[in-house]
Chains A and B, each alone.
Chain A
Amino acid sequence: MRLLLAEDEQALRESLTVQLQKHGYAVDGAGDGREALWLAGEYDYDLAIIDLGLPQIDGLSVIRSIREKQKRFPILVLTARGRWQDKVEGLEAGGDDYVTKPFQIEEILARLNALLRRSGGFASPRLEFGPVQIDTAAQEVKVNGAAVEFTAFEYKALLYLAHRHGQVVSKTELTEHLYDQDFDRDSNVIEVFIGRLRKKLDPDHTLNPISTVRGRGYRFELPTSEQA
């Protein structure tokens, strides 16, 4: 999942970036509103965390501009001001949820998960695809009722594909949404990655959860039990 993080306090931005990367997000950091707006226009993000007190262009204006550009990715508003009037302003401008400072990383992660799920069109935190169950709240994957261990990156890749079940996702798209900008885009890595996912989800080769569409990319094939 590729995430835009706009926060002017460098220490906070860096520690958040490290934490989010640890949980499988590809994070692009922006230190001011202008940079944030440029990044939002340039790349295709799955999520954004935007602090309201940004220099150059304030957070509210950044959010409004992003929405004016018809960008639909969910935005988590970060604010030091806890008054309802401030929160309502952030949400009215186009934010989807808010977190007030100081916060715990768990809270941010939970909100991001909920937003991602929502943007994928799933109402419940538990995604079901036949025998495969993904619990986005607990970040657990079960196949036929048995828990399967995934690394953070594997989990994010699975989630990205599952959110776009039935659609073809190219290797480039997957790379962009899994890794930071400066990642060396070697397509072999993705192939190895998909191989690992297939092995964990379908050790007996009976499900074929992820198919390869030659020359175009991959497709998550399992039908959802929930209507999106």
Chain B
Amino acid sequence: MKRWTRAELQTLLREKAPRSIARRLLLASLIGLPFFLAATGWFLAKSFEASQLASAEERARIQFYALLSTLDFDRSGIQVSNRNADPRLAQINSGLYAVIHRPNGLLLWQSTSSQGLLLDEELLSGGNPPEVGKERFDTLDEADLLRFQFQTIYETDDGEDLPLVFTILESLNSLRAEQRAFLQQLWLGLGGAAVLLTLAQAAILRWGLAPLRKLAHDVSDLEQGRRAALPDQYPTELQPLAQNLNQLLTREQTQRERYRNTLGDLAHSLKTPLAVLRQAVQGADIDRSQFEEQITRMDQLIVYQLQRAVASGIHRVGQQSQMLKPIADKLVASFSKVYFDKNLQLQVTVDAQCACRADEGDIYEVLGNLIDNACKACHSKVAVSAEQSERWLLIHVEDDGPGIEPEARNRILLRGQRADSYQPGQGIGLAVTVDILDSYGAELDIGSAAFGGARFTIRWPS
């Protein structure tokens, strides 16, 4: 016989186990149910037998008392009146027998029923009778009999003490017949119960797993486009799954719409410069500067739309927090190279603990655009600082340039403008920044810096 290793058994279980949850549960209960029913049956049969014996003992004791009460002793021996006695005692081989004898086995009286019975030493005393005043109840398997014995001292009229043993015998046949009938009933009942239980379980599983089937059906409906979202009528265990699926769908839909809008905006916005170029090509004299201008415009449009599309935005599941300081330091190091000629004072005051839940590239983009604008606008000083509170991460980018008039601030921050309304050099960086911040639920404010110029403040939800 093959010896299975643990790994082999696991593989077997994995490969052979049914794919359906309902079938798995049903299979498990079908394997368990017979053991459970067999144990129940065995226990019930044993209990029945015990109670049969107990009641047989009780019956025998009653026979004994009845016998005792009708007993009379005279010179000719023991007399038993038949008035109160069980009629079975008067009937040969009725299955109920009574015998009165001496402890040594000397027969004094026997019921009519026992006349066909071989009343030997073994049957009557079984070696030695019970002590005086004590009873004994046992089974004689060889003779197929139940035996009840009681020894008493009978005082005769002559004042003589006479030890008597009463032996009541009952055939086991009727008990056996009862047992057989009981067992038959029992197994029939248990078998029926097993079938009913299995059917009931199958029905329960069908009912219990119905929401899963409905979910699968609804998801397939989603796929086929027959429904837009999953309904919110699932049991509590499935509701979070449905909600998460819906969120995922919404996010995916938003992203898709964004891509579509971006693509649409891009295509539309490129048409105008293309039209200008076509006119210029068809015109008699080709003006190089016109070409340059239109190419620059197209380039800016592509840059803007590309950055908008690449910006990941929207909290993704499991979005990691990014430390702000290393990003700010790297950007500032880069800007001091790029704006070398301006001989800038670039200051970073960001706590090492400041972190922000967003894509690293998006943080680079937002900060890069703001610092770049500040470097362009400043005379010589740009400061980046951040403070973290429980609700917000505040990031300030300040410069000592001319600043921004209060009236102009809102216009600069206006978002959702149509992409093709952007003109070259109109601050595409800032538009991208606002777009990215918007997708994270973050805000951008413009104020005045302590040292004169503009102060851009990002309010990022913690």
B-binding residues in A (CB < 8 A) = 82-85, 87-88, 91-92, 95-98, 100, 102, 104, 114, 118, 123, 125
With an 8 A cutoff between CB atoms, is B268 at the interface?
no
Residue in A87, A96, A125 whose CB lies within 8 Å of B368:
A87
> Could you give, for residues 367-386 of chain B, a 1 whenever the CB lies within 8 Å of some chain A CB and a 0 otherwise?
11100100000000000000
**Which segment of B175-183, B327-335, B418-426 sits at the interface?**
B327-335
Contact B365 A84 (CB under 8 A): yes
Do residues A91 and B334 form an inter-chain contact, with CB atoms below 8 A? yes
Interchain CB contact (< 8 A) of A114 among B341, B361, B368: B341
**Cβ of B364 and Cβ of A88 under 8 Å apart?**
yes
Residue of A nearest to B304 (CB): A82
Residues in chain B near residue A114, CB distance under 8 A: 340-341
In the bound assembly, the distance between CA atoms of A84 and B364 in angstroms comes to 6
Task: Name the CB-closest residue of A to B306.
Answer: A82
Report if A84-B303 is in contact (Cβ < 8 Å); known contacts: A91-B338, A96-B337, A114-B341. Answer: no
Q: Tell me how far the C-beta of A72 lies from the nearest C-beta in chain B, rounded to whole angstroms.
A: 14
**Contact, CB under 8 Å: A91 / B365:** no
Q: A83-B361, A84-B365, A85-B361 are in contact. Are A92 and B343 (CB under 8 A)?
A: no
Tell me the total A-B contact number using a CB cutoff of 8 A. 52
Residue from A83, A100, A114 whose CB has the most chain B CB atoms within 10 Å: A83
Question: In whole angstroms, how far apart are the Cα atoms of A92 and B364 in the complex?
Answer: 14
- Distance in Å: Cβ of B370 to nearest Cβ of chain A: 10
- A sample of 9 more A-B contacts (CB under 8 A), given A84-B365, A88-B331, is A84-B331, A84-B364, A84-B372, A85-B364, A85-B365, A91-B333, A92-B333, A97-B337, A104-B296
CB distance from A145 to the nearest CB of B (A): 25
Partner of A102, one of B295, B340, B368: B295
Hey, what's the 0/1 contact readout for B74-97 against A, CB within 8 Å counting as 1? 000000000000000000000000
Whether, in the assembled complex, B262 has its beta carbon less than 8 Å from a beta carbon of chain A, the answer is no
For the complex, what is the distance from the CA of A114 to the CA of B339, rounded to whole Å?
10
Chain B CB within 10 Å, residue with most, of A84, A98, A118: A84
Contacts of B360 in A (CB 8 A): 85
Report B's interface with A, CB cutoff 8 A: 292, 295-296, 299, 303, 306-307, 310, 330-331, 333-334, 337-338, 340-341, 343, 360-361, 364-365, 367-369, 372
A101 to B276, CA, bound (A): 22
Checking A83, A104, A118 against B364 with a beta-carbon cut-off of 8 angstroms, the contacting residue is: A83
Contact of B343 among A82, A84, A123 (CB under 8 A): A123
Q: Complex: how many Å from CA A172 to CA B303?
A: 45
A88 close to B292 (CB less than 8 A): no
| B292 x A104 contact (CB < 8 A) | yes
Interchain residue pairs A-B with the least CB separation, the first 3: A84-B368, A85-B364, A91-B334
The interface residues of chain B lying within 8 Å CB-to-CB of A82 are 303, 306-307
CB distance from A93 to the nearest CB of B (A): 11
Given A102-B295, A114-B341: A87 and B334 interface contact (C-beta under 8 Å):
yes
Q: How far is the CB of A82 from chain B (nearest CB, A)?
A: 5
30 residue pairs of the A-B complex, CB under 8 angstroms, read: A82-B306, A82-B307, A83-B307, A83-B361, A84-B365, A84-B367, A84-B368, A84-B372, A85-B360, A85-B364, A85-B365, A87-B334, A87-B368, A88-B330, A88-B331, A88-B334, A91-B333, A91-B334, A91-B337, A91-B338, A92-B330, A92-B333, A96-B337, A102-B299, A104-B292, A104-B296, A118-B340, A118-B341, A123-B341, A123-B343
